[in-house]
Amino acid sequence: MDMVDLPRAALIDALGRRISYLRISVTDRCDLRCRYCMADRMTFLPRDQVLTLEEIALLADLFIARGVRKIRLTGGEPLVRRDIIDLVRRIGRHVGHGLDELTLTTNGTRLAEHANALFDAGIRRINVSLDSLDPDGFAYVTRRGNIQPVMDGLAAARAAGLSVKINMVALKGVNDDEILPMLRWCSNQGFDLSLIETMPLGETGEDRTDHYLPLTAVVDQLRQHVELSSIAYRTGGPSRYFAVEGMGVRLGLITPLTNNFCSDCNRMRMTCEGKIFMCLGHDDHVDLKSAFREGGLAAVQPLIDRALRLKPERHDFRIGADAPSATVQRHMSVTGG
């Protein structure tokens, strides 16, 4: 069945929220082991359980036909997926023709190799995860990383014309003293910055309670040094933005614990094995892969409708002595944040 033959009912959940943003995890694999995200020793999916790039592209076509206006490619680390640029080109051809934007989140380790190709394929804006500017601090957070390839990748991204936002997970006792320097560095580089509260996803071998840093406290500390003004700027995700006086940088806050943002959630997530998660903080999902391989895109339609009915009102992330170490057992790398 061709795309033109498929019904194009809008993606609206049981609470009336319109879903216009799809995050696609193209792989659960990563070349780093960030302490807040993954365990040091991970068991990844067998390759035969992972959707092919062509399958991902066809499913993306369907979601675009049903009203998705923005797609973000994530991982794991998406740039470790072989031939990833072929997928970017395939989805990128929809930009301006049903799709408003195609973006990517990366750890930056392979960005120098791919920056020009990403731009040529239709991406104009990327998020780069970077939790420390200090080489030793970077190696500690990532358990094994070398910061220099990331710096080279950021330079390549800027040279290619890509707009960059740095994603920094705020960790008490780890990088809390680096937040203001990171903000100033981003200003000098022409990058925006989003701060993120750590989320209880999957067992990582670390005590998240020890390192949980509420962003309300971070903002209070920053305001002792800079003037922050709330602005209406949005990128389609959960970040709420501030202008920073004198810096020419936008500061975003992602606050799943201190300021729930679920009332206007417009997102769903598809894993690399074809599972749709309607909420990062819940395990409920529908599995598209078998239906798609047996019956094509038409067989996927009722499963997407079921997923819309399953979307919960809100997540239930909790961190503290009386909370489980992980709200859900899957790691962040499975659903891509």
Amino acid code (one letter) for 303:
L
The DSSP result for 293-309, as a single string, is: HHHHHHHHHHHHHHHHH
Shortest CA distance to 192 belongs to which of 233, 151, 141, 222?
Answer: 233
Residue 246: left (phi > 0), alpha (psi -120 to 50), or beta? left
Residue set of the binding site for GTP: 23, 72, 105, 165, 267-269
DSSP 8-state secondary structure symbol assigned to residue 271? -
Query: Is the separation of the CB atoms in 36 and 281 below 8 Å?
Result: no
> Hey, which residues does 101 pair with through a beta bridge?
70
Annotated binding site: 23, 30, 34, 36-37, 72, 76, 105, 129, 165, 199, 262, 265, 267-269, 279
d(CA 93, CA 176) in angstroms, rounded, equals 41
Q: Which residues are annotated as a binding site for [4Fe-4S] cluster?
A: 30, 34, 37, 262, 265, 279
- The Cα 294–Cα 212 span in angstroms is 44
| Beta strands at 101-106 and 70-74: parallel, antiparallel or unpaired | parallel
State the Cα–Cα distance between residues 193 and 17, nearest whole angstrom: 27
Binding-site residues for S-adenosyl-L-methionine? 36, 76, 129, 199
